[in-house]
Structure 1
Amino acid sequence: MSTALFVGCGESSVTVSNLSCEYLTDPLGIDEKNPRLSWQLKSGQRGQKQTAYRVLVASSKEKLDKSTADFWDTGKVKSDQSILVAYDGRELVSRTHCFWKVMSWDKDGNPSKWSETAEWSMGLLKSEDWTAKWITNPAPKRLSYPWLRQTFDLKENIERAVIHVNTPSYYELHINGKKVSPYVLTPGISKIDKRFLVNSYDVTSYLHKGTNCIALWMGPGWHQPGTGNKYNSPILRAQLDIQLPSGLTVIGTDSDWRVHESCISQIGSWEWDEFGGEHFDAREYLQDWNQADLDDSDWLYAGEIAPPEVLHSWQGCESPRLSQAVSPKRIFQLNNGKWLIDFGRPLTGWMNLKMHDLTAGQIIHIYYADLNYNDYDQEMNIAGSSTDGFQHFNQQDTYIARGEGSESFHSRFNYHSFRYALITGLDQKPALEDASAMMIEPDIPSAGQFECSNELFNSIHETTRYTFRTQNPGLALGTGEAREKSAYGDGGVHLSGYLYNFKCDANFRKWIRDWSDNQRQDGWFGHTAPA
């Protein structure tokens, strides 16, 4: 069907925008064979509506710009549907890259202009499309937080490169010394004995002709020895698909990869009142662990393991990120010499602390607390572990200094719920600008706003939004100092508030899948999901 059919019609005041696929903007690595497409209409006229639409899907932006839809052309469909229109074109196979746009007809039958181009790509849909092997640290000295890496040469310029990472453990992905994506504590939680999650990243701009390096820094996360990790180390498979002028090149994890213990070890057993934190020995940090020119000849070869007998699925929702830093309200010294940093409000996330004039081997210990019992006149019922009247549930980190002037620390593969940081081992008072708290929250946009002439109501609304943000990691991480996962009652209580304030459709879709995974054969559900 040609757009010439519509010449002569009046142009609509309606514009089409905010295109999404499976609730997300330009998602990568999806595993829905008939992905659902949505868009929004905008118009300055009251009462406007969509009476028809046309969707074009093409294999390249160049073809789409010419309205050549070699994947799918719906033609003009008389319908007001603009949410979750299921793709029904040519069969989509692994690695397919799709470009699409939409035209809408308004209540008077006038067509809009074409929307801006959106896109999505398919992941690895069949097990045989994965050539990467499952690997781990073959000789962990403790519960391992390893560095893993592989170097490789490219003799041509890169047209497109996408890497797929499949693991139940937290990781940072680096290519040629640069961290890929702004996200942290990826992947989200799943029911580990049933499903591992896959995330995909476009890394075209990170690669170059010549020698390249893929490197991952990993932490066990929820995949602990007590939850089925029999290797005492994170496990993963990662596959980099590189499209070159001469064809597809695949770089996958295997026994040729190198592995080395990092400078992090775990504090706590990752259970209630013992979620602990990280022991970071800066003397053992390797500055160039993620660089292509590092000599890794003395590193161990990775150990290949049998494929885990679980489902492997696209994560399908936004990953967590760091929000704007929160500055301390006050820093002062307790009578026992400990430093107390008060951020003035509770949050779930990390603290970044800059320290000065440290000597090599100097030990700094940090407790993270959410409640100060010293502020209350009456005797309080202490729910978890506490120190000096501060309830901390044994949330803690230890930093051992390298001894090179100013040094900074923040968590990487754990997180804390806190308002206060209680610090020992520092010889001098931190300045206000030396500390900041960074809330971790899913990368979801706002869906609505509220404002009125009553400042109290405005304040209540902002406090409610802040509470949603600081607790929303429960859908991806597990909230609070006790790592409480979301119970079925939680969803009912805050569902409407979330949906009015945030575009969290994808988050809740993942949560429904988590509940399905949590259901027993006899139909019984547990109290929380993922479990």
Structure 2
Amino acid sequence: MRWITAGTKTPFYTRKTIEITKEIREAYADVCGLGQFVFYINGKKVSDHELDPGWTDYRKYIEYVRFDVTNYLKAGTNAIGAEIANGWYIMDDHHYTFRFPEFMPPNPNPYVPFGKSLVFAMKLLIRYTDDTEETILSDDSFKVSEHPVQYSNVYGSELYDARREKKGWNTPAYDDHDWKNAVMADDVPDAELCEQFQPYIKVIHTYEGKQIHENVWDFGQNTSGMLEFGIQGKPGDMVYLYPAEKLDDQGNPDQMAKGWTLVDNVITYIIGSNEPEHYRGRFSYIAGRYIAVKTGSDAVITDMKLHAVTSAWKESGTFTSDDVRYNQIYDMIKKTVEANMVSVHTDCPTIERFAWQEPNHLMAPSIMFMKDGRKLWEKFLKDMRAAQHTSKDIFHDYAGNVIPAGDGLVPSQAPCYIPNVLPVPGMGSFYDIIPWGSSIILGTYWHYMFYGDVKIIEDNFDAGMK
């Protein structure tokens, strides 16, 4: 695959038209955009995926997504398009981003971007009924343009400027004469490329928002989801939407979490016209049950929805009881699991969104009874193998002293985007935690116990022995 870029750290569009003159037997597209992408052909989103590709340590391995696009292509002119945004590849810090609490020492090993600009790659293979085939690769003949999403934060904050929308940008008829040509990217990590194999993220339920008072909407359930709404106002009007898990004593959404950090996420929408407009999240998810809307104008919000998303949508078991309380507990845990499975297993969908490893053995049997964890745990374990340190890996303290990672150490998070390796006085290390890193062994054990596949032991034996 060949990587192209718009040379920007902010979201961008890319597109290209191709001509098809023969009858198609089948066609497949291998696609990746880092950090997140949405793929289109002839104006239609390809598949029901959300938040592709899965989060990984992009210096170790990168997942591409294979789409069957046979039914999306047609004879004549076809438009191929994609939207690319940040994710963890180049983390955006607008509004809320995780910061270590005051009881922890400053971190001299902060997040490091994986590249200089966001990137896209595609390989389209078309097989024709006359037994010939054609391969189309991303290159500098693709066109690129700025996106109405001016910034996209992995924790859910976003600025959407509808004045910058390009109607019909992903259709064959669109005139892209004023778009620039893409540039070949030269700084993408030399990592393993592999097809995304864990269950993709998708919408499992849509919660309709209920307006409980003037500027507050209630979805009835805490979840991780993609926000959608209709809006009408005057061009340039700005509307702010604040998600929260709970309400304060006055009935307003409260973004304070655990009493020590303000998760001040906000989606900012700038109205582009006098006509009714539509917004739907693409590149990140919000977490919570409530939305507070703030506007200094007469803008009107309608049809507020929250689309719950998860990788854990394959069911493997159910539970019912004559005691309604047990059913409620089961439903609560099930929804909690779903909200924390987004290609990695997070410990909470609001404050950190980090892939802490202890749930991958502590909760493995409970989750595997209710969800098909076969491919999910294969992904978690691959992330642990990718994160495992060698004797060559070092960190530094603020004085510049070398801190060896430790040969064979599996960190407490995998992938780990912000390695906090310094011990906390009186609390010890949050990076080198034996019960967390031991998931490389115990997670393997539970996978084998449930699915009986000896390959999971073969894949993780060497890492466990280290």
Q: For each residue in 1:246-302, what CA deviation from the matched residue of structure 2 results, as whole angstroms up to 9, or x when unmatched?
A: 51101110111111111111165x5xxxx3511111111001110112111221111
SS in 1 for 2:289: strand
Instruction: Look up the match of 2:124.
Output: 240
Match of 2:259 among 335, 358, 382: 382
Counterparts of 1:474 and 1:243, CA distance in 2: 31
Instruction: Look up the match of 1:343.
Output: 219
CA contact (8 A) 1:331 1:430 kept: no
CA contact (8 A) 1:168 1:197 kept: no
Instruction: Look up the match of 1:173.
Output: 39
Higher relative contact order (CA 8 A, sep 6+): 2
Counterparts of 1:406 and 1:380, CA distance in 2: 35
Instruction: Look up the match of 1:160.
Output: 26
Instruction: Look up the match of 1:183.
Output: 49
Query: Shift of the alpha carbon at 1:499?
Result: 0.5
Check 1:380–1:321 CA distance in 2 against 1; reply closer, same or farther (3 A cut). Answer: closer
Query: Shift of the alpha carbon at 1:182?
Result: 0.5
Kindly report which structure 2 residues correspond to 1:14-53, keeping only aligned pairs within 5 A, or say none: none
Query: Shift of the alpha carbon at 1:454?
Result: 1.9
Kindly report which structure 2 residues correspond to 1:279-358, keeping only aligned pairs within 5 A, or say none: 279-306=159-186, 308-333=189-214, 339-356=215-232, 358=233
Match of 1:447 among 292, 316, 329: 316
Kindly report which structure 2 residues correspond to 1:481-496, keeping only aligned pairs within 5 A, or say none: 481-496=350-365
CA contact (8 A) 1:164 1:239 kept: yes
Query: Shift of the alpha carbon at 1:429?
Result: 9.1
Counterparts of 1:257 and 1:329, CA distance in 2: 43
Answer with 447-456 or 515-524: which moved more.
Answer: 447-456
Identity between Structure 1 and Structure 2 (%): 22
Counterparts of 1:370 and 1:430, CA distance in 2: 23
Structure 1 counterpart of 2:281, which letter?
A: S
SS in 2 for 1:208: coil
Check 1:429–1:252 CA distance in 2 against 1; reply closer, same or farther (3 A cut). Answer: closer
Query: Shift of the alpha carbon at 1:210?
Result: 0.8
Counterparts of 1:304 and 1:429, CA distance in 2: 42
Instruction: Look up the match of 2:447.
Output: none
Query: Shift of the alpha carbon at 1:327?
Result: 2.1
Counterparts of 1:444 and 1:402, CA distance in 2: 36
Query: Shift of the alpha carbon at 1:404?
Result: 3.4
Segments of 5+ residues of structure 2 without an aligned counterpart are 92-110, 391-406, 417-466
Counterparts of 1:442 and 1:421, CA distance in 2: 24
**Structure with max Cα Rg:** 1
SS in 2 for 1:199: strand
Kindly report which structure 2 residues correspond to 1:426-437, keeping only aligned pairs within 5 A, or say none: 434-437=303-306
CA-based RMSD: 2.3
SS in 1 for 2:115: coil
Counterparts of 1:213 and 1:478, CA distance in 2: 40
Match of 1:406 among 268, 276, 301: 276
Structure 1 counterpart of 2:165, which letter?
A: Y
Match of 1:210 among 58, 76, 79: 76
Check 1:175–1:205 CA distance in 2 against 1; reply closer, same or farther (3 A cut). Answer: same
CA contact (8 A) 2:11 2:152 kept: no
- Relative to the length of structure 2, the TM-score reads 0.76
Counterparts of 1:477 and 1:352, CA distance in 2: 24
Q: For this pair of structures, how many residues does the alignment match?
A: 375
Instruction: Look up the match of 1:12.
Output: none
